[in-house]
Each structure stands twice: as structure tokens, then as C-alpha cells.
Amino acid sequence: MSIDRLRSIALFDGLTDDQLRELLAVGEEVHFDTGDELFTEARPADFWWLLLEGSVDLLRHVGQEDTRLGVMSTPGQWAGGFRAWDEHGVYMATGRGSSPGVALRVPAAKLAERANAWFPFGAHLLKGLIHTARSIETMARQREALVALGTLAAGFAHEINNPASAATRAADALEASCEDLQSSLGRLAERSITAGQFIALDALRRDIDPQAARSDPLAIADREDALSDWLTERGVDRDWILAPSLAAAGLDVAWCERVADVLGGDGGDAIGPGLEWIASYLSTSALLAEVKQSTRRISELVAAVKSYSQMDRASMQYTDVTEGLESTLVMLGHKMPTGVTVVRDYRAQLPRIEASAGELNQVWTNLIDNSVDAMNGAGRLRVSTRAAEDGVIVEIGDSGTGMTPQVRAHAFEPFFTTKGVGKGTGLGLDIARRIVAERHGGEITIDQQPGETVFRVRLPLRAPARR
């Protein structure tokens, strides 16, 4: 190739013949045909491509199709070579010949040498520009991650506060309940009941099944009124305290008559302490059950957080996708409006896949969060899993407003968002795509069905080797 061919290109105005010869010496003339792929999206931009003849389509893979972003058809247009100034530079699109042509291919390292030798000030400015752009993108991603972390932390605090408060209240009430239990037992002993009477009374207590007492509030209220009248007739003090506890446990007047028979016919003064002892036992049991339920809920939330964050686990491991989806739903529980119904459709015996579980949980968070936003407070969120021939498929569908073809075409592009100012950075779906496609060798697509928008994620059984 002669320098006259380069001299006709406006890009090289200002370069001397010797400089053009140097450029040709380090470059290579590449002939391509229609359909030939010159460079590939997301791969290291190790070469600078200068078009001399023909045309090249610039394509980006979005969903299941290649979207044409532009075309290089004028001699002097160029692409790639970013690693001359940025060690992490990658091709922003795939270059594919749309008509036969010729290009000059120059290694990025050689281009950097020429640029630094010919116009060091310009090369310095270019490095600074690229560094600044990358820093802004990194800061935006970090900001998005911090906002998401803050939202999840606030949601977790809200979720754990309810059972923690309930456990605290129940523990405080237990002290008074245990004191009443001991006091009533002491008053019962003062009535000089026999050992046989106490054993019979304890047998009646053991026969109580609070779980079988569940009934409608009106039935409980009727029992409470009847018990209160019965206790008053027997001269039992504090009937307003005993009657509600006994009625809530499913006990009625007939059961109290059995207590009276055990404690001596008319019962004398032992009926009151005997019923107080049983009511205190029922109250203590109920409070203990509340403490157990609350602390169990706290343990479940902590386990969900541990599963979600993948604490103490290797970055790459064999992962249960269903477990990750469930822990994500728990973490996002505070964001679920009351009008949104979550439908789980998990396939049994789903195979484990080799993946970074923490990164996949970030994908599920972004997809579910987008779906919830799309429903505006009411709708149906479907989370399903199923096995595929070579991996697993996860679908997250919502009955929201849907996406237009234009939005679907750009949904996974960095910084693209349809949300209002201050309500999104457009990084969520881009991050999800990068994690699924680049980190796990999978695929994420959007399928618009009647009444449902579906994010479909395909993941292989084994993750590709990291480059």
C-alpha cells in the first residue's frame, strides 16, 4: 500500500510522508468480503481498524438479535484500538463487512507508540478523557450499588423489626405471667386441696388444646360473656381477667363445672385460685409460643440475608437457583405492594449450576425490582424455574404496562431508562446482562406476551472459563 492512498484521507492531514510510512510499516492491509467479521463486541480492542474501501456494519447483540448501530462506509472512518490508551478497552460493537472492502489494521500498542511520538499532548488528553469517562461510569455503578444496598438494608430493618418487637413485648409480659402463675399456685396450696385434687386439676389442664379452640370472634365473645356470668355467680374475683383467657382457649361453662367438681362440688374458695392457675398457664404458653414464632422468623430472615449475600461461600460454586430467588423475594418483601400477588412456579429437582450465586442474586434483584415498578402497585408477579437441555431457565413475568418494541431494543444498553428523573440510572438491566452473558455464558431476553412481560434468563450448567 502506498502512502498516497492514506494522503487522500482527511484524518491524516498534518502528518508527514515519513510518519505515514511508519504507520504503514506497523499496520497490515486486510481484505474482507460481505459477512466477514472484523472485530467482535466486548472483546479486547487490541487493533485499530481504518476503513479504506467498502463498508462495515456496526452491530450490537441485544436480546436474541443483532441490532445495527451504524455503518462505516466512508474511507477514513475507524473503530477500535482503545487499548492504546485504556488497558481495559473493548470493542463497543461487532464489525461485519456489508460489502467487500479493504481496511488497515494497526495493533493498539503500535498505535500508542506512534501517537506518543507524534503528538504527546494529544495522546495525554485522550488518555485523560478515557480515564474520566470510565471513572464516571464506575462511580455511577457504585452509586447504584450503594443505593440498592441502602434500600435493601432499610427493607431488612423493617422486616426484622416486627418479629423483634413482638419477641421483646412477649418476653416482658412473660415476667408478669410467670409471677401470676406462681402466685395462683401458692393461693391454691393455701386452700388445702389434696394431692388427688391437684392431679385431677392438672389432668384437665393437660387436656386443653388451644389449637382446637380457633373459632370466629363472635363465638369467643359469647363464651366470654357466659364464663364471666358463671364466675360472678361463684364469687370468683377478677372474672374480667379470667374469662377472656379461658374463652380464647376454647373453654366453656361446662369445662369450668368439671373444675368445680374436682375442687369439691361447689368448690369453695379453691375454684378461683384453680382457674387463675390454669389461666396463667395458658397465658404463659401463648407468650412462649409468640417468642418462639418471632425468634424463628428472625432466624429465617438472617438465613435469607446470608443466602442472598452468599457470606462465607466461594465466588464460583454449584448453586441452587431456586434458593437464590427465594432469598431475593424475602429481601425485597418490603417493596412488594399489597396489591401485587407473587406466584411461584418452581420446578422440582432443578439441577444445580456452576455460578456465582451472589452475582445471580443481583440479577434477580434488578429484574424483580423492574417488574414491581412496572405494575404500579397492583398486578401479578410470576417467578418460575425449569430445566433446559443444557442448563436452567428462569422467568420473571409481570402483568404491568409492558414494553414497546423501541424500549425492548434498547433495554439492556447502559444508562438507558424509562423512569423519571431521580428514579433510576439505567444500570440495572445492563448489569444483569453483563452478569448473565459475560460472566456466566448465558442469555437474557425479553418476551412480550399478551398480558405479561417476561424476562427470560438461560444459564448453562457450567460457567465458561474466565478470560
% the chain with pLDDT above 70: 83
**Which one has a higher pLDDT value, 367 or 405?**
367
Provide Rg for the chain, Cα atoms.
36
Q: Cα–Cα distance between 25 and 412 in angstroms, integer? A: 40
Q: Name the average pLDDT for the chain.
A: 82
Record the cell numbers describing residue 228, joined without a space: 364471666
**Which one has a higher pLDDT value, 340 or 432?**
340
103 pLDDT more than 90: yes
The secondary structure of 376-445 as a DSSP string is TTEEEEEEEEEEETTEEEEEEEE-SS---HHHHHHTTSTT---SPTTS--S-HHHHHHIIIIIITS-EEE
pLDDT given for residue 467 in this prediction: 44
332 pLDDT more than 70: yes
**pLDDT tens by residue, 408-463:** 877 877 666 666 544 544 457 888 888 888 888 899 999 988 889 999 999 998 87
68 pLDDT more than 60: yes
Write down how long the chain is.
Answer: 467
Record the cell numbers describing residue 444, joined without a space: 437474557
Q: Cα–Cα distance between 183 and 241 in angstroms, integer? A: 15
Predicted TM-score (pTM) of the model is 0.47
Q: Cα–Cα distance between 151 and 157 in angstroms, integer? A: 10
pLDDT given for residue 62 in this prediction: 60
Answer for the pair 338, 302: CB distance below 8 angstroms, yes or no: no
**pLDDT tens by residue, 160-218:** 787 888 888 888 888 888 888 888 888 888 887 888 888 998 899 888 876 666 667 88
396 pLDDT more than 90: yes
Answer for the pair 272, 236: CB distance below 8 angstroms, yes or no: yes
- The torsion angles phi and psi of 376, rounded to 5 degrees, stand at 55, 40
1 pLDDT more than 50: yes
Least confident of 195-199, 268-272, 386-390: 268-272
pLDDT given for residue 73 in this prediction: 92
- The torsion angles phi and psi of 15, rounded to 5 degrees, stand at -85, 145
- The torsion angles phi and psi of 379, rounded to 5 degrees, stand at 155, -160
Record the cell numbers describing residue 164, joined without a space: 423483634
pLDDT given for residue 53 in this prediction: 93
Q: Can you list the alpha helix ranges (DSSP code H) found in 310-356?
A: 321-331
DSSP code at position 314? -
Residue 347 to residues 388, 452, 463, Cα–Cα distance (Å): 11, 20, 21
Query: Environment class of residue 297 by beta-carbon count within 10 Å: exposed (0-12), middle (13-18) or buried (19+)?
Result: middle
pLDDT given for residue 422 in this prediction: 45
Q: Any residues with CB less than 8 A from the CB of 113 and at least 6 apart, and which?
A: 26
- In the block, which residue shows the cell 488497515? 104
Q: Cα–Cα distance between 159 and 293 in angstroms, integer? A: 14
The closest of 227, 228, 288, 277 to 252, measured between CA atoms, is: 227
Q: Cα–Cα distance between 240 and 248 in angstroms, integer? A: 13
% the chain with pLDDT above 90: 21
Domains of the chain with bracketed CATH: 3-118 (2.60.120.10), 157-300 (no CATH), 313-460 (3.30.565.10)
**pLDDT tens by residue, 294-306:** 888 788 777 766 6
69 pLDDT more than 70: yes
**pLDDT tens by residue, 105-163:** 999 999 888 888 887 766 667 776 667 666 665 666 566 666 666 666 766 777 778 78
